[in-house]
Structure 1
Amino acid sequence: MGELLYPDVPGGLGAFLFFTIVLGVLGGIATGRAFASSWTSLVTLPFALLGMAAAVRFLHYALAGEDLSSVQYFVVSLVFVALGGFYGFRSKRTEQMCRQYPWLFAKAGPVAWSHRA
């Protein structure tokens, strides 16, 4: 499983956990929340998340000595950053909809709202 998510180099697991999971996911959440806060369409978010994933891969390259041109590990970084980004967007949008239109919507979970009966 390790070879699929991170390269088999010394410190590969630590770099994956810190750069991709901690910095990438938290950065994705912050980016998604920022896009939702400005009422920006969800269509524009993936472009920002692509840049965020590229930044995460650059951190792997610059600070952990990993290969920068690895498509496999870029896709892994992109998946984790995108999961965080879409979660952040949806959680903030749920918060906005329930606060902005309390007579229409009620919170139905951390990332969902429902119509009031």
Structure 2
Amino acid sequence: MPERTYILHITERRLWDQARERGAYAMSTRGRTLQEEGFIHCSTRAQLPAVAAFLYGSYDGPDELVVLVVDPARLGVPLRYEAPKPGGEEFPHVYGPIPVTAVVDVEPWS
């Protein structure tokens, strides 16, 4: 899969399994929903290691972590690249739930 085409989101396996049952994924980041945050935090392949370390560096949960590989062309909701502070690195933010049909692969994360 070409890196430039896809965006990534790291999550717990059980949250992805629940999303598959509902038809859409709606967690923004670790412990926060789309409704609470306003968008779903994603990353590029290059950004993923730092994001995973920041969010899950101390993770000792019962579920394995997985990376959702998302095709932006299948989202059906806005995708914006935004920096957390002016002049900072831009990250992909999805402004709506991610349909399970937009997830083209699920990779294990260790």
The structure whose residues are more often strand, as a share, is 2
Structures share a fold, TM > 0.5? no
Higher relative contact order by CA 8 Å / sep ≥ 6: 1 or 2?
Answer: 2
Instruction: Output the TM-score relative to the length of structure 2.
Output: 0.27
The structure whose residues are more often helix, as a share, is 1
Structure having the higher Rg: 1
Instruction: Output the TM-score relative to the length of structure 1.
Output: 0.26
